[in-house]
Amino acid sequence: MRLIERKDYIDKLISLKNTPDIKVITGSNAFLLSSDLATLFTGRVHEIEILPFSFKEYLLYFPQDNYEEAFDNYLLCGGMSGGYLYPTVEETYKYIADVFDTVILRDIRQKYKIKNVVLMDRIADFLMDNISNLSSARRIAETLNSNEDKINHKTVHLYMDYLCKSFVFHKVRRYDIMSVSEREQAEPIHRERRMAIMN
């Protein structure tokens, strides 16, 4: 989108603010993520998150009797329904990679004015490789650090936050079944919040 088109888009959104009709705004762009819309239309926003298909929803889309084969196909193609339009797995992968690159390149880098693009890519790659594992910004910074390049865990945490706000990853908090008294007796650990990142 050219700069003038972006300005027109934002101007049109602002002009909708005072009209009584229901408006539906979909898609993503570099300037207005959900939190920005909530600020712009204070008190008049109802956000509906639409996530990729679960396996159950995949079966509704592609009814099959052989659940093992269906699950294997689901693992190959994932839950991004736009990818179902492509006849081969390779084309589906290309579609998913294009969506990912668009969100990373356009939405996150432009919106948050990311200066260290290589670091953002490395963090995204690390999180993809460690799906469902406990991950902390400090651990990621330690893993990615090299002798020449010192990465601050606060920057990593900030970039992780941007990735979550853009729905590239979802934060899943660890469920703690320890009682309060057991927690008090446990040895102290880092105070930094740990998060499991799942897509």
Q: Between 1 and 74, where is the model more confident?
A: 74
Q: Give pLDDT tens digits for 58-109.
A: 998 888 899 999 999 999 888 888 888 899 989 999 998 888 888 777 778 8
Q: Which residues sit opposite 171 in a β-bridge?
A: 197
Q: Give pLDDT tens digits for 43-61.
A: 666 666 777 888 999 998 8
Q: Which residues sit opposite 198 in a β-bridge?
A: 170
Q: Which tokens hold the place of 27? A: 């898609």
pLDDT of residue 15: 67
79 vs 83: CA distance, rounded Å: 8
> Are 23 and 16 in contact, with CB atoms under 8 Å apart?
yes
pLDDT of residue 11: 64
The pTM score is: 0.65
> Are 92 and 86 in contact, with CB atoms under 8 Å apart?
yes
Percentage with pLDDT > 70 across the chain: 62
What sections of the chain are H helices per DSSP?
3-16, 34-40, 55-61, 67-77, 89-102, 109-111, 117-129, 137-144, 153-165, 180-185
> Are 144 and 125 in contact, with CB atoms under 8 Å apart?
no
> Are 144 and 122 in contact, with CB atoms under 8 Å apart?
yes
Confidence of residue 17 (pLDDT cuts 50, 70, 90): low
pLDDT exceeds cutoff 80 at 163: yes
> Are 73 and 67 in contact, with CB atoms under 8 Å apart?
no
Q: Give pLDDT tens digits for 103-145.
A: 777 778 888 889 888 888 889 999 989 888 888 899 899 888 8
> Are 168 and 100 in contact, with CB atoms under 8 Å apart?
yes
153 vs 141: CA distance, rounded Å: 5
41 vs 46: CA distance, rounded Å: 10
Confidence of residue 189 (pLDDT cuts 50, 70, 90): very low
At 198, is the secondary structure helix, strand, or coil? strand
pLDDT of residue 133: 85
pLDDT exceeds cutoff 60 at 170: yes
57 vs 79: CA distance, rounded Å: 9
pLDDT of residue 46: 63
46 vs 25: CA distance, rounded Å: 11
pLDDT of residue 117: 87
The answer to whether the Cα torsion of 47, 135, 114, 155 is positive or negative is positive
